[in-house]
Amino acid sequence: MKVCSIGLRGMEGYRVQVEVRELPGMPSVVIVGLPDTSVKEAKERVVAALHAFGCDVMKQKLVIHLSPPERKKQSPMFDLAMAIGILKVKGKLEQPVPPHIAFLGSLSLDGAIQSVDGMLPAILAAKKLGFEQVYAPYDPTLPLHHLQHVNCVFVQTLDEVVQCLKGQQTISPTFHLPSVADVPQNNHRDFQHIIGHEHAKYALEVAAAGEHNVLMIGPPGCGKSLLAETFPTILPRLSHEAQLEVLSLYQLAGEPKNDSSPPFRHPHHSASSVALIGGGTHPKPGEVSLAHRGVLFLDEMAEFTKKTLDMLRQPLETGKVTISRVSSTVTYPAHFILIGAMNPCPCGYFGSKKRYCLCSPKQIRAYRQRISGPIYDRIDILLSLEAVDLTQKSKQVDCSETIRSRVEAARLRQYERYGEEVTNGRVPIDVLLAKSPLTKGQQQLFQHWAATNDWSNRVQTKIIRLARTITDLTGADDITDESLWKAMAFRRIKEGRQERNMKGGC
């Protein structure tokens, strides 16, 4: 007898066939097919649940095989499928179990069906694998308004599943759940409440429009953290597909996510490389994956260990992170905007007009070299901030809602240009240059500045991407000279070679 379920390998789902056979021998239940501890313990849960249902299985030997046998099974999600397979073998369920039905869920000792981590990605995987119906426990965190294309039958007990398969009871596949978009947002910050920093606000608008990475350098208390924490208010809302992807990652990590806003992750600088990148005995998503489709804010970036920061190279370049362990190798998406903030020196007051810096050039150089050159190369916008005089009359600035509307319009231009939902910061460079080539004069100017400032090929590419985004915000079709100048200014070309050498040669 074969019953189908879903196994997960990271975000990827695969079909698991649960085969049950009754054999002569000492009464026992044996599970084979590379089960881990949580799956091995399933026999006790399943036996107790079946006993509560009225089916005694401890009179003969039962062998349960989880196929494919070469993949490690690491979740109690197969309990329900095992129980259905045993009921079929014992003759308690006479109706055939169609192969297009997948059974998901863990069993409690009284026969109740419980949700487990990863239920949402498993349901989505079942749809991709061609299953027409999914039996699963109801979970209030599931975004049911996004799962209307999936035929889910939500059940609470093993008895309900049997009644449904017999056709004696019909359970509504829908439960009342407010739309994620209707959940109140927790971020009450707004750009119009931030005094000064007009240049930084514009730079963050560009970063939001094209998904560009930003590093802010300035003395303590100048507003770096405030700007970064307000940044999500100008990001567009997530699409349905993006919300499902983000919620799947949060379910796999066992963390709550209750709104449709882009994720904002703010790990402490003492966080380990495993916490930041992901991992563990059974690899789980780290901060870079939980920031997928959103923002990863690294405050006091120079205080992170150099090894930990260098691990950001792969996700910043490819938009995904691969975690290899003895038991398995998994890949999680990690497509995020990096916002970094750091002091200019150990004491924090190098270049300050109000406080005297006590650090030597050697100390400043060593401090800034904690961030390696390759990481600097992967940052699009470098901002130098100064403390703002709060007694000055501030200019009238746009609110976050107005800025977000401009960002959404710029994103829409990019989607139409490339024919898919990809931004200037992520699109392949050959596609970018094919759609938005530089003029001959712009090429000559650009080559001159690149040679003068020793820009790497990656930095040159990022400047072109920035120029394209700045142009999109203005609504022009072709990259303008002004946009190219602004993009080059974002790489801080006026600070000189000595300042760049202190930063590690960026």
pLDDT for 3 equals 95
Q: Which CATH architecture has domain 191-424?
A: 3-Layer(aba) Sandwich (3.40)
pLDDT for 500 equals 40
Q: How far apart are CA 227 and CA 223, in angstroms?
A: 6
Strand bridging mode 12-23 / 61-67: antiparallel
Choose which CATH entry (3.40.50.620, 3.40.190.10, 3.30.230.10, 3.90.245.10) describes domain 2-166: 3.30.230.10
Is pTM beyond 0.75? Reply is: yes
pLDDT for 495 equals 40
Q: How far apart are CA 275 and CA 267, in angstroms?
A: 9
pLDDT for 261 equals 87
pLDDT for 501 equals 42
Tokens of 259: 């709104």
pLDDT for 260 equals 76
Q: Enumerate residue ranges in the chain where pLDDT < 70.
A: 169-187, 327, 391-394, 492-506
Residue carrying the six token digits 């066992």: 254
pLDDT for 38 equals 87
pLDDT for 148 equals 73
pLDDT for 388 equals 82
Helix, strand, coil abundance in the chain, percent, nearest 5:
40, 15, 40
pLDDT for 498 equals 37
pLDDT for 20 equals 95
Q: How far apart are CA 127 and CA 145, in angstroms?
A: 16
pLDDT for 412 equals 96
Are 288 and 321 in contact, with CB atoms under 8 Å apart?
yes
Which 3 state secondary structure label does DSSP give 221? coil
Q: How far apart are CA 421 and CA 213, in angstroms?
A: 18
Domain ranges of the chain: 2-166, 191-424
pLDDT for 494 equals 38
Q: How far apart are CA 364 and CA 360, in angstroms?
A: 6
| Range list of β-strands (E), 24-151 | 28-32, 61-67, 101-103, 106-107, 113-114, 133-137
Strand bridging mode 264-265 / 278-279: unpaired
